[in-house]
Homo-oligomer: A and B are copies of this chain.
Amino acid sequence: MFTPSERAIAAGGQPIADLMSRALGNPHLISLAAGFVDQSSLPVETMRVATEKVLGDPQRAQTALQYGENAGLPLFRDLILSRLRQADDLTNHPLTTQNVVVTAGSNQLLNLIAEVLLDPGDIALCAAPSYLVWTGVVKGVGARSLGIATDDQGLIPEALDAELARLESIGELERVKLIYVIPYFDNPRGISMPDARRAAVVEIAQRWSKHHPIHVLSDNAYRELRYRGDDIPDTITHDSMLETVIVAGTFSKSFAPGIRLGYGVLPAHLVGPVTDIKSNIDFGSPCLNQHIMAEVISSGLYDAQVHRVCDNYQHKLQVMLTACDEHLSRIDGVHWVRPDGGLYVWVELPASLDAGSHGELFEVALREGVFYVPGECCFAAEGAPSRPNSMRLSFGVQSPEGIRTGIAALARAIDEVARRQAA
Contact of A12 among B39, B62, B272 (CB under 8 A): B272
Query: In the complex, what distance in Å separates the CA atom of A280 from the CA atom of B103?
Result: 13
Question: B111–A276 contact, CB under 8 A?
Answer: no
Question: B257–A111 contact, CB under 8 A?
Answer: no
Q: Is A48 an interface residue (CB 8 A)?
A: yes
Q: Is A3 an interface residue (CB 8 A)?
A: yes
Question: B111–A281 contact, CB under 8 A?
Answer: yes
Q: State which residues 269-318 of A face B: CB under 8 Å.
A: 269-270, 272-273, 276-277, 279-289
Question: A8–B277 contact, CB under 8 A?
Answer: yes
Q: Is A108 an interface residue (CB 8 A)?
A: yes
Number of chain A residues close to chain B: CB under 8 A: 75
Majority secondary structure of chain A interface residues (helix, strand, loop or mixed): helix
Question: B62–A8 contact, CB under 8 A?
Answer: no
Question: B66–A44 contact, CB under 8 A?
Answer: no
Closest to A122 in B: B5
Query: In the complex, what distance in Å separates the CA atom of A5 from the CA atom of B118?
Result: 6
Question: A282–B107 contact, CB under 8 A?
Answer: yes
State the A residues within 8 Å of B (CB). 1-8, 11-12, 14, 17, 36-37, 39-40, 42-44, 47-48, 51-52, 55-56, 58, 61-68, 104-105, 107-108, 111, 115-119, 122, 133, 136-137, 140-141, 212-213, 252, 256-260, 269-270, 272-273, 276-277, 279-289
Q: A3-B212, A47-B61, A107-B281 are in contact. List 7 more A-B contacts (CB 8 A).
A: A17-B279, A44-B62, A51-B55, A64-B258, A104-B286, A140-B277, A259-B286
